[in-house]
Amino acid sequence: MLPVETLFQDAKMPARDRRRVRSFLERMEDEATDALAQLIGKLPERQRIALALRFYEALRPEEIAVVLGTREDTVHELLRKATESVGEGMRRSAEKQAAKSARRR
C-alpha cells in the first residue's frame, strides 16, 4: 500500500484537498479503532485474554497455554474463534458504514 503522501504527490492534489483527505482518513481510523475495541470487549473472557496475550504481549501460543493453564491446541482454537468473531464484526461494521454513506448521497 502506498503512503498517503505519495498518492497526494502523484495526483498533484492541492493542499486544501490534502487536508480534507487526511481528516477523512483520521476519522475512518478512529471509527475502526473504536469498533475493534468494542468487538474485542464483547468476546468471551478466555478469547479476549488469549487475543491480548498474542497480539499485545506478543506471546507465542505455547506461552499463552502456560499462562492460561491449558493446552496449546486450545489456545489455537481460542485465537481462531476470537479472530473470526472480530473479523466478522468488523465486516458488519464496514457494511453498515457503507450503507449509511450511500444513504447520504
pLDDT per position as a tens digit, 76-93:
999 999 999 999 999 998
Distance of alpha carbon 53 from alpha carbon 64, whole angstroms = 7
The pLDDT of residue 2 is above 60: no
Distance of alpha carbon 25 from alpha carbon 87, whole angstroms = 20
Cell matching residue 31: 471509527
User: What are the structural domain ranges in the chain?
Assistant: 4-104
- Rg (C-alpha) for the chain, rounded Å, is 19
Which secondary-structure segment (H or E) carries 86? helix 72-104
Q: Say whether pTM exceeds 0.85.
A: no
**pLDDT score at 62:** 98
CATH class for domain 4-104? mainly alpha
